[in-house]
Structure 1
Amino acid sequence: MNNKVKPIMILGCTSDAGKSLIVTAICRLLANRGVKVAPFKAQNMSNNAAITEDGLEIGRAQYLQALAAKAKPSSSMNPVLLKPSADTFSQVIVNGVVNHKISQMPWMERKSLLWREVQHALLQLQNEYEQIVIEGAGSPAEINLRAGDIVNMSVALECQADVYLVSDIDRGGSFAHLLGTWACLAPEEQALIKGFVLNKFRGDPLLLGNAMAWLQEKTGIPTVANLPYYRHQLPEEDSFRLGTKWQRGKINIALIYYPYASNLDEFDPLIYQDDINLVPVHQNEDLNDFDALILPGSKNSGVSLEFLRTTGLDSKICQFKKTGKLILGVCGGLQILGKRIIDTHSIEDGDKNGLGLIALQTEIEIDKSTRQRSIKWFDSSLLGYEIHHGKTVVSGSVFPFISKGLGWRQENIYSTYLHGLFENKVFYDWFMRQVGGRENGIEWSAHIDTELDNLAAMFALHGWL
C-alpha cells in the first residue's frame, strides 16, 4: 500500500449497528472540509443496488456514500456485491458485472478469487483519493466466517486502517457487545482499534455512569463518541418499514412486499410525504380500498410470483384491476403482471405463468441490462436506471409508457423497467394526478444532498473527527 493517510474503517458488533450511516456521515464531513475522500466496502449483500455512469452495479449504500463524498460512484467502491435470489443462493457481482461462475461456487472456495479483486480495488482508490472510509459487514467476531473473510479484519490488516468499533446502544447490551467483539479478535487486530462508538443513543448521557471507563480499563481502548438516535430521510441499505396500515384521509398506496423485492428505496419520496401512506402488503388482504397498487422490482420474479399465489394475493391484485385504479409494475413487477416468464437458463425459478394483466411476455436472459437513463417525457426529462435480466416483448394490444421498449400500458396497468421514477418531480406529480393526490413532488436528489449535510453536521457535533 502507499504512504497516504491511513484509511478509517467502521466495524460493527452486529448487523444494523449503523455502520453505513456513520461512513456516509464521515464522507460528507470530510468532503465539506475539502478532503478528496471515497467510501469502500469490499463485499456487500443487498438487493438494493445502483448503477454507475459506466453501467456497473454496486450496492445502494456505497452509491449514496460516494454522493456524500462528492465523488463519482465507481465499482471500485464495492468490488463484490451479493444479491440474494434464493434461501441458499446469491448472485455474485464482481467489479460491477455478474459473475455466473463464482455465483455457483461454494462460499469458502471464493476467497482466493475475490480477495485479489478487493486488494486491487482498495489500492486503486488509495492511489486516487486522499482519504478512504471503509465499511465492514455484519460483525468481525463471526468466528465461523473468519476463514473466508474479505470484508472485515482482512481488509483492516491489508491497509492498516484506523478501526472504530460501533455498537447499537438502543438494542441494549452495548458494553458486552464491544468487549466480546474485541475479545474475539487476534492481538494484531485488536491493535488496530482506535476507539469504540456508541450509536443510536437516546436518553440522559449521565445514565452511562462509569461504563466507558470500565470498558477502557478492560481493553485499553477509549469510547470516542456517543452518537444520538438520528432520524433521517436517506435510503436504507437493505431494510424497509413494515406495519403501516390503511389510514383515512390520506392517499393510500399498497406496495406488494414479496420475497426478494429489490430497490425499495426508490419509493422513499412517497414514504416521507405527509399526505401519502405507503403500505407494504405481505399477506392476503382486501386491496380495493387503496388508491393505487405498486409491484416493485424483484431479484427472483418467479419466486415472488409463487408467493403471490400461495398467499392468495394474486387474486386480490386481479380484483383490484377491476376497480379501474392504477397499478404500476416496476422491473420484476412488470414481469409478474405479464402473461408469461420464460427462464430457459434457470437464472431465477424456471418458467412461470404471470398474472396475465398486461399483454407482455418476458424471457430471462443470461446477460443483464444495467445502465443509467435520461428519458424525455412530456416537456421534461426522467432520470433513472435499468437493472434487469428480462427481455420483454409485446404479446397483444398495449401502448408505450415512459419510452418505447422501456415501458408499456394497457388500460389501468402501467409497467416499466425504469427505476427511480418517483425521485423525479415530473413523474411524482403525474402519478398524483392519476390517483387524486396533491402535486407536491420534489427533486429528490437535491433533498438527499441537504439530508447529507444535516447528517454531517450531527456527526461534527457528536463524533470524534
Structure 2
Amino acid sequence: MRRGPAGAPALLVAGTTSDAGKSVLVTGICRWLARQGVKVAPFKAQNMSLNSVVTADGAEIGRAQAAQAAAAGVEPTAAMNPVLLKPGSDRRSQVVVRGRPVGEADALGYRDFKDRLRTVAAESLAELRTEYDAVICEGAGSPAEINLRPGDIANMGLARTADLPVLVVGDIDRGGVFAAMHGTLALLEPADQALIAGFVVNKFRGAPELLEPGLDMLRRLTGRPVHGVLPWLEGRSIDVEDSLALTAERAPVRAPVQGRTLRVAVVHTPRISNFTDIDALAVEPGVDLRFASSPQEVDDADLVVLPGTRATVADLAWVRERGLDAAVTARAEQGRPVLGICGGYQMLARRIHDEVESGAGAVPGLGLLPTAVTFAADKTLGRPVGSAYGHPVEGYEIHHGHSVLDDGADDGAEPFLDGWRRGAVWGTTWHGALENDAFRRAFLADVARCAGRDFAPAPDTDFAAERTARLDALGDLVEQHMDTAALLRLLEEGAPDGLPVIPPAGVPDA
C-alpha cells in the first residue's frame, strides 16, 4: 500500500456506543487485509479492560488487541495498545503504559497523565506506521462523549492528530442505530466531522430490502455512505474488553451429550478479569457452562471456577456477602472440584496480606489451600511453560499477589502449574492454561472422576482451530458484506474532501 509522509496508511473505527462492534470490525478488517497480502497491525490508543494478555517481550496489553494481531497474523506488541486502564473499583484504575504499570488514578487524577499519554499514543501509532503496510485503529467508547473530548486520545483526538479517516459502526440489534449514527456526527465539532467518512451497520437480522430506505435517508441527511451492513453472526465474539460483554450473545455455546454432561459454574465477581480463561471449556462437547453469583447457582455444578480478578480482597468480600464462601467450602470438604485461577487462586489461601491492591492488610482467605499470599508492589508479567498430567502447558501470568505454602506446611498439597492442589481443589496463577488441549482433557477427566460424573472429554477438540475459525468468519464478514474497494480508498486517500457539516453541532471548534 502507498506510504505517505506519516508512514503506512491507517484508519480509525469508532462506535456509536461501547460494545457496538468496534473490536469485531477491526478484527475482521485485519483478517481480510492479511488475506490480501497486506502486513497490517491493530492499534488501540487507550483501552479500559480487565481482559489482558502478556506479549512475548513481557508487556501487558488488552486481549482484544492480541486477538486482532492474531487475525492479522502478527505477534502482538506493546505499541498496539500503549495505554491500558485496569479498573480496581468504580473510581480508580491501574494505569499501564507500554505494557508496564505506572500508577493508580481516579477519573480526576487521570487528567494529570493525559499529556504524557497523548504523546505515548501518537508515538506508538507512528512506530506501527513505520513497521507495517497498514494500521487499523480502534476507538474507545463513543467519539460523541463530548464531555471527554478535550482530553481524548483514542477517538477524534487521535484522528485529528494523525489525520485518520473514521468509520462509525452502530449496533442495529440494540435499536435506534440511525439516530445514534446521525447524532454522533451532529455532536462533533466541524473539524472532527470532516474526518467521519462513513458508517457500518452491525448485527443486522432480517431482509436487507427493509433496511434500504433507512440507509438512503442516512446518506441524504449526512452526506456519507454506509460502507457495510454486517449480518448477525452467532459466535462472533472475540477476546473482548470487559464483563459488560458477558451477555447472552457471548454465553458459551453448550453442546450437551446425552448422559455425559459436565456442569461448570464460573463465579461472576464484580471485578472479574481474564474471563477468556473459560472460553476453552466452552468449546468442549458436553460441558454445560454458566456464570454464577449465588450459592444456589453453584450447588449442582460439577466444577466451580473462581476466575481472575483485579480486586482480590474486595471480590473475596463480595463472595462472603453472598454466602458463596460457605457453598464453595462445603463443596471442597465433600471432595467436589474447585478451580481457582490467579485472583481466584489467591482467595483459596489460608491468609492474604495486601498493602498494595486494596491496602486492607491481613485478610483471611477461604482456607481451601495451605497457602499464604503476599501482594508485592511490582507486578509479575510472564509467559511460563511447564507440564501437568504428563502434558506440556503454556500460559501467562499477570499478578501482584505471590503464593507460598503457609509456614512451610504441605498439608497434603502437591504442585500444580506453579500453584498447588489439595484433593479436589486446584489453584494456579497461570491464565490460558485451559487452552492447551491435551492438558485440558486430562484435567476435565480428573474433575469428572472427582465429581463422580460419567463424562469423557472429546479426543479431537482443538481450541486453536476453533479460535482461527472465528477469526476467519470475521474476515468473511468484511469480505462479503462491506464495500472493500471503498475501504481501500479510505486507507490510500483518507477522508474525502468537502464532507458536509451537520448542523447544529452545538460544540465550539477546538
Label 1:241 to 1:251 Cα distance change in 2 as closer, same or farther (>3 A).
Answer: farther
What letter corresponds to residue 459 of structure 1 in structure 2?
V
Alignment of 1:368-383 (within 5 A): 368-383=379-394
CA change 1:145–1:115 in 2 (3 A) is same
Report the more deviating stretch, 190-199 or 130-139.
Answer: 190-199
Judged with a 3 Å threshold, the aligned counterparts in structure 2 of structure 1 residues 286 and 219 are, in CA distance, closer, same or farther, namely closer
**Once structures 1 and 2 are overlaid, which stretch shifts more, 372-381 or 160-169?**
372-381
Give the TM-score, by structure 2 length: 0.87
Q: Secondary structure at the match of 2:470?
A: helix
- Asked if residue 262 in structure 1 is aligned to residue 280 in structure 2, the reply is no
Report the residue type matching 1:433 in the other structure: A
What is the rounded CA distance, in whole Å, between the counterparts of 1:379 and 1:49 in structure 2? Answer: 28
SS at match of 2:298: coil
| CA distance, structure 1, for counterparts of residue 87 and residue 104 of structure 2 | 16
Distance 1:356 1:162, change over 3 A: same
Q: Which residue of 2 aligns with 1:23?
A: 26
One-letter amino acid matched to 1:407: G
User: Which residue of the other structure, out of 266, 273, 286, is the alignment partner of 2:284?
Assistant: 273
**Retained in 2: the 8 A contact 1:44–1:137?**
yes
Aligned Cα root-mean-square deviation (Å): 2.1
Question: Which residue in 1 is equivalent to 2:246?
Answer: 240
1:179 Cα deviation after fit = 0.5
Superposition pairs of residues 93-132 of structure 1, within 5 angstroms: 93-100=96-103, 106-132=109-135
Q: Aligned-pair distance for 1:231?
A: 1.7
Q: Specify the code of the residue in structure 2 equivalent to 1:400.
A: E
Going from structure 1 to structure 2, the CA distance change for 1:171 and 1:288 (only over 3 Å counts) comes to: closer
Question: Matched residue of 1:287: which SS?
Answer: helix
> Could you give the per-residue CA deviations for residues 257-296 of structure 1, whole angstroms, max 9, x where no partner exists?
1111110011112123341111211123263422111111
SS in 1 for 2:304: strand
Aligned residue in 2 for 1:425: 437
Structure-2 change in CA distance of 1:156 and 1:428 (3 Å)? same
Q: Matched residues in 2 for 1:399 and 1:359: separation?
A: 7
Tell me the distance in 2 between the aligned counterparts of 1:221 and 1:38.
Answer: 26
User: How many angstroms does 1:214 deviate by?
Assistant: 1.4
2:233 to 230, 233, 257: 230
1:442 matches 2:446: no
CA, structure 1 residues 2+401, in 2 after alignment: closer, same or farther (shift >3 Å)? farther
Structure 2 counterpart of 1:17, which letter? Answer: A
Letter in 1 for 2:349: G
CA distance in 2, matches of 1:52, 1:286: 35
CA distance in 2, matches of 1:104, 1:122: 24
* Cα shift readout 1:124-159 (whole Å, capped 9, x = no counterpart): 001111100000011000111112211100111111
Check the 8 A contact 2:311/2:357 in 1, yes or no.
no
Aligned partners of 1:260 and 1:300 also within 8 Å? yes
- After superposition, the C-alpha distances for 1:175-220 in whole angstroms (9 at most, x for unaligned) are 1101000001111211111111111000011112422221122211
Paired residues of 1:262 and 1:298 also in contact (CA < 8 A): yes
Q: Which amino acid aligns with 1:376?
A: S
Give the letter for the 1:11 counterpart.
Answer: A
Give, in whole Å, the separation in 1 of the partners of 2:337 and 2:364. 22
For residue 41 of structure 1, what is the aligned residue in structure 2? 44
Structure 1 residues 389 and 103, CA gap change in structure 2 (3 angstroms): farther
Deviates more, 1:235-244 or 1:222-231: 235-244
Q: How many angstroms apart in 2 are the aligned matches of 1:88 and 1:76? A: 26
CA contact (8 A) 1:286 1:316 kept: no
Q: Does 2:482 align with 1:463?
A: yes
Is the contact between residue 285 and residue 457 of structure 2 (CA under 8 Å) also seen in structure 1?
no
Given residue 461 of structure 2, which amino acid in structure 1 is its aligned partner? I
Out of 151, 159, 177, the position equivalent to 2:180 is 177
Q: Are the equivalent residues in 1 in contact too, given 2:94–2:104 (CA < 8 A)?
A: no
Quote how far apart the aligned CAs of 1:104 are.
9.2
Identity %: 39
Question: Higher relative CO (CA 8 A, sep ≥ 6), structure 1 or 2?
Answer: 2
| CA displacement 1:100-122 (0-9 Å, x = unmatched) | 16679713222112111111101
Task: Indicate the SS of the match to 1:53.
Answer: coil
- Give the aligned partner of residue 395 of structure 2: 384
Shift of 1:455: 1.6
Give the secondary structure class of the aligned counterpart of 2:5: coil
CA offsets, 1:5-41, max 9 Å, x none? 4312100001110000000000011011110100000
- Alpha-carbon distance between aligned partners in 2 of 1:84 and 1:241, rounded to the nearest angstrom: 20
Matched-pair contact (CA < 8 Å) for 2:350–2:371: yes
Tell me by how many angstroms 1:325 deviates.
Answer: 1.7
Q: Which residue of 1 aligns with 2:150?
A: 147
Q: Using a 3 Å threshold, how does the CA distance of structure 1 residues 3 and 367 change in structure 2: closer, same or farther? A: closer
Q: 1:317 to 1:376 in 2, by over 3 A?
A: closer
| 1:399 paired residue number | 413
The answer (yes or no) to whether the contact 2:403–2:419 under 8 Å persists in 1 is no
TM-score, with structure 1 as normaliser: 0.95
Q: Give the paired residue count.
A: 463
Letter in 1 for 2:374: E
Gapped regions of structure 2 (runs ≥ 5): 449-454, 485-510
- Report the Cα offset of residue 235 of structure 1: 2.7
- Structure 1 counterpart SS, 2:159: helix
SS in 2 for 1:361: strand
Cα distance, 1:220–1:348 mapped onto 2, change above 3 Å: farther
Q: CA deviation at 1:399?
A: 3.1
1:400 Cα deviation after fit: 3.4
Determine the C-alpha separation between the residues in 2 that align with 1:145 and 1:124: 26
